């Protein structure tokens, strides 16, 4: 019997009107079309303290980190839309990855159990002309460094204020197809690699 494939989808922004939240929601439809199960989470619901090894050794991992780690472990693929801050990853997403990379009691130090063998696809959008493309290289390098296979296909949508309509859909049909095609590819590669 084949294992059911589950994709965890999130944006690297907790901003209420985040364009990247809109983008990842557009992409989710592409993944769902393949029949996989998709869980969307908002980091507003997983507020994690700024990582500090003292916090970890004094009190163990915070509950929100344990919840986030459990979600990562329970999904085989990650669909991520990340804003670019000063040419790089947002501190919100880096903080979440850093916390999740830490072992739980009883786990070996670098087991990276949330990440090893998982598959990810990356998207970005921003008001700028490059759409956050430069940041994606950094997100890719970080994830690949902790054992995640990041599919080569990625998309950065420029001019975010013009790109989305009132309902959060992409105005450009070609962009929509491309974004959903990447999510579909993620679902297919995840299914293949996680059997
Ligand atoms: C930005 N923004 C930005 N945009 C960009 O294309 N390249 C960049 O390097 C940066 N740098 C940057 C730094 C900081 C600290 C902030 C707060 C913002 C603008 C950013 O793309 C814009 O605020 C997006 O709307 C953020 O994404 P969400 O929150 O809408 O998903």
Helices and strands (H, E) in the chain, number of each type? 7, 5
Query: What total number of domains does the chain contain?
Result: 1
- On whether residue 131 sits in a domain, the answer given is yes
- On whether residue 45 sits in a domain, the answer given is yes
Start-to-end CA span in the chain (Å): 10
Q: Is the CB of 133 under 6 A from ligand 1?
A: no
ipTM greater than cut 0.95: yes
Pair of tokens at residue 167 = 């309902």
Name the residue at shortest CA distance from atom 10 of ligand 1. 85
CATH code at position 116: 3.40.50.360
Q: Is the CB of 128 under 6 A from ligand 1?
A: yes
CA of 52 to the centre of ligand 1 (A): 25
- On whether residue 187 sits in a domain, the answer given is yes
pTM of the entire structure? 0.97
Domain encompassing residue 185: 6-193
- On whether residue 178 sits in a domain, the answer given is yes
Q: Is the CB of 86 under 6 A from ligand 1?
A: yes
- On whether residue 1 sits in a domain, the answer given is no
What pLDDT digit, counting tens, does each position of 36-85 carry?
999 999 999 999 999 999 888 777 889 999 999 999 999 999 999 999 99
């Amino acid at each position: 019997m084949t294992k059911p494939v589950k994709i965890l989808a999130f944006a690297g922004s907790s901003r209420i009107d985040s364009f990247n939240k809109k983008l990842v929601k557009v992409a989710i439809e592409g993944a769902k079309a393949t029949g996989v199960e998709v869980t969307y989470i908002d980091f507003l619901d997983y507020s994690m303290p700024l990582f500090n090894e003292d916090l970890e050794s004094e009190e163990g991992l915070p509950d929100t980190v344990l919840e986030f780690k459990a979600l990562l472990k329970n999904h085989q693929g990650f669909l991520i839309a990340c804003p670019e801050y000063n040419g790089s990853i947002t501190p919100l997403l880096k903080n979440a990855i850093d916390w999740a990379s830490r072992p739980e009691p009883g786990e070996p130090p670098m087991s990276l159990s949330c990440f090893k063998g998982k598959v990810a696809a990356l998207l970005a959008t921003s008001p700028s002309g490059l759409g956050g493309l430069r940041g994606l290289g950094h997100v890719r390098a970080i994830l690949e460094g902790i054992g995640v296979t990041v599919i080569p296909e990625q998309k950065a949508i420029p001019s975010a204020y013009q790109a989305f309509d009132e309902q959060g859909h992409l105005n450009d049909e070609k962009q929509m197809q491309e974004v959903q095609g990447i999510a579909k590819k993620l679902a297919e590669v995840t299914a293949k690699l996680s059997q």
